[in-house]
Amino acid sequence: MDQAAHHGQENRAALGGSRPIALTIAGFDPSSGAGISADLKVFAAHRVYGMACISALTVQSTLGVKRVEPVRAGQVRESLECLFEDVVPDGVKMGMLATPEIVGEVSAFLSTSRFPREKIVLDPVIRSSSGKELLSPGGVKRMVEELFPCVGWITPNLDELAVLTQAGSVCREGIPEAAARLREACPGLNVLVTGGHLERPDDYLLLSSGESFWVEGEWVRTNSTHGTGCALSSALLCGLIAGKNPEDAVLAAKAWVTQALREAYPVGRGRGPMNHLFSLENQAGCASISARDSI
């Protein structure tokens, strides 16, 4: 058994096996539609205890990103070392890493920690939906060369897939070929291309084994679409931690995000967040009804 995984089991035993643990490494979005706070909500909705390592602070709202203030790369490394000395998580999700230096520190840490690749999900955040650059070309290069070999999953959208494969742009018909280029460049990588910008929002899954599937999606009429990529990758990690096979974990994450979009409510004047906690709210509602019925 891998040393990190064994340590994780010891942690769970010490806690009485009460709850799996996931770590998110990402930026902080004050509107909580994406980034660290959104990831923690997704973990909570899946009954997973969330830990967090912040890569950057941002000035943003539902109207877009105004400024990014990266955390010192050495502090990110120190935070990870401090956490893992105490609690080794069952899985790791990464979002915005902000600078080439942070990408390098996270890559170096993961490569030396011997954490199992199959429980590491990378959402390669390169640019915000409002057009703000969130990782420089140098950072993207280090991500491909240094971080990809450490992760088992990558969940790019079409724009990110184009940047990572230097394709200029990618249409629906070109997705399988572009995904294959990523997998071939890094053996052992599972690629989930999110199709939220397609006419029909289907995702494409290419497993490290070479098997591939289209995951059918449906349009949900809502303006609360901020952070869908963050949520999908975090929900995917929760499924993997729960022991689902890769295809089932992807299907469950896709279904969860779709329902979170259906149950979203207006927040802000721009692209608001989905309802990350809909399942907990529904459970609370059922509990309240049961309590009234018993009176």
8 A C-beta contact, residue 127 and residue 157: no
Helix H or strand E segment including 138: helix 137-142
pTM of the model: 0.91
Question: What pLDDT does 197 receive?
Answer: 77
Mean pLDDT for the stretch of residues 252-267: 97
Predicted pLDDT at 240: 98
pLDDT, position 77: 98
Model pLDDT, residue 130:
74
Q: Which domains are delineated in the chain?
A: 3-294 (3.40.1190.20)
What tokens were used for 279?
Answer: 């399942």
What the block records as the tokens of 290 is: 């049961």
The letter for the amino acid at 262 is: R
Quick one: which of 81, 167, 70, 88 has its CA closest to 125?
70
Residue 129: band (very low, low, confident or very high) from pLDDT cuts 50, 70, 90:
confident
DSSP 243: T
- The per-residue pLDDT of the chain, averaged, comes to 91
Mean pLDDT of the 44-65 span: 96
Instruction: Estimate the crossing angle of helix 228-241 against helix 35-45, to 10 degrees.
Output: 40
Residue 287, both tokens: 């509990």
Residue 217 CA: distances (Å) to CA of 81, 175, 195, 235: 39, 16, 8, 16
Q: Which residues lie below 8 Å from residue 17, measured CB to CB, with a gap of 6+?
A: none
pLDDT attached to residue 196: 81
pLDDT at 189 over 50: yes
